[in-house]
């Protein structure tokens, strides 16, 4: 049939059926706990770049640091103004200046104070450089202006639901980490190799529908239930 100008041409009905599968999973039972990694997994909408993790606002830490700095600056400024007005400096500032004059760098209190300040500075530096919000997993989004995430607990619940839908699996425990997902499944009255293949397919399909920012490594651990 010749298409008419201005009329969209639809693909053939059998084109989708002839399309090759998007992924091939490894066959065979394998060793218990061996990771399943889909090497040629391609997302339906390829992102321009790997999505970044969400960053925490660190409100409590920022507020605490700002309060300490403001309080120390206010007290010091008040004492300086009092001295400029002709009064004596506060006792704490005179004692502090005396201790700085009489104590040497090898003193125990000086070293201890320096160690505490160094650890405090290192902690603040780690908080500033790390994104935080480890409970959120970034998702793939088709637009570069939008960002999406899913909670780890929700992802674990979805994977556990998919695992329990597999025949002969009576219980499943799922732990989703940053780069891998660990699934412990209990199998009754079925070959472990067959159960592993079906379970890996179900979990990979569920992860592809969730659309994580990167495909985590899947580690399966199957345990037979005798009773």
pLDDT tens column, 74-98: 988 988 898 888 888 888 888 888 8
Residues 225 and 143 in one domain: yes
111 within a domain of the structure (yes/no): yes
Distances (CA, A) of 220 to 28, 136, 175: 13, 23, 11
Q: Where are the alpha helices (DSSP H) in 22-107?
A: 59-84, 91-102
Distances (CA, A) of 162 to 7, 15, 187, 201: 42, 29, 14, 10
User: Domain holding 224: CATH number?
Assistant: 3.30.300.20
The mean per-residue pLDDT over the stretch 111-115 comes to 90
Is residue 226 pLDDT above 70, yes or no? yes
- Residue with the two structure tokens 């999406």: 148
47 within a domain of the structure (yes/no): no
Residues 98 and 122 in one domain: yes
Residues 160 and 204 in one domain: yes
Domain boundary among 94, 129, 164: 129
Residue 40 pLDDT level (bands cut at 50, 70, 90): very low
Q: Exposed/middle/buried for 88, CB within 10 Å: 0-12, 13-18, 19+?
A: exposed
Domain boundary among 69, 96, 129: 129
CA–CA separation, 170 and 188 (whole Å): 7
183 within a domain of the structure (yes/no): yes
Q: Are 53 and 136 in contact (CB under 8 A)?
A: yes
Is residue 41 pLDDT above 50, yes or no? no
Residue 154 has phi, psi (to 5 degrees) of: -65, -45
Instruction: Count how many domains the chain has.
Output: 2
Residues 102 and 164 in one domain: no
Q: Are 178 and 133 in contact (CB under 8 A)?
A: no
97 within a domain of the structure (yes/no): yes
Instruction: Give 131-184 pLDDT, tens digit per residue.
Output: 777 778 887 776 666 777 788 888 889 899 999 999 888 999 999 887 788 999
Residues 153 and 167 in one domain: yes
Show the domain range for 148: 134-227
141 within a domain of the structure (yes/no): yes
Instruction: Give 100-110 pLDDT, tens digit per residue.
Output: 888 888 888 88
Domain boundary among 72, 102, 129: 129
Closest CA to 158 of 225, 204, 196, 219: 204
105 within a domain of the structure (yes/no): yes
Closest CA to 172 of 184, 156, 188: 184
22 DSSP assignment: S
Residues 118 and 158 in one domain: no
CA–CA separation, 170 and 32 (whole Å): 18
Dump the DSSP string for 98-133: HHHHH--TTSHHHHHHHHHHHHHHHHHHHHHHS---
Residues 164 and 225 in one domain: yes
State the CB neighbour count (10 A cutoff) for residue 29: 14
């Amino acid at each position: 049939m010749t298409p008419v100008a201005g009329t969209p041409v639809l693909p053939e009905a059998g084109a989708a059926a002839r399309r090759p599968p998007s992924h091939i999973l490894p066959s065979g039972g394998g060793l218990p706990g061996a990771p399943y990694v889909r090497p040629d997994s391609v997302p339906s909408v390829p992102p321009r770049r790997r999505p970044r993790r969400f960053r925490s606002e660190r409100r409590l830490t920022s507020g605490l640091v700002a309060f300490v700095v403001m309080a120390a600056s206010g007290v010091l400024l008040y004492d300086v103004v009092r001295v400029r007005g002709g009064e004596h400096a506060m006792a704490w500032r005179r004692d502090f200046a005396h201790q700085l004059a009489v104590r040497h760098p090898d003193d125990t209190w000086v070293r201890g104070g320096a160690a505490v300040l160094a650890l405090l500075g290192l902690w603040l530096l780690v908080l500033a450089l790390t994104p935080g919000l480890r409970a959120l997993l970034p998702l793939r989004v088709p637009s570069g202006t939008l960002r999406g995430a899913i909670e780890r607990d929700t992802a674990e619940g979805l994977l556990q639901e998919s695992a329990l839908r597999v025949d002969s699996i009576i219980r499943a425990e799922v732990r989703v980490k940053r780069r891998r997902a660990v699934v412990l499944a209990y199998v009754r009255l079925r070959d472990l190799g067959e159960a592993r293949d079906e379970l890996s397919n179900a979990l990979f399909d569920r992860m592809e529908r969730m659309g994580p920012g990167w495909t985590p490594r899947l580690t399966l651990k199957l345990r037979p239930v005798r009773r």
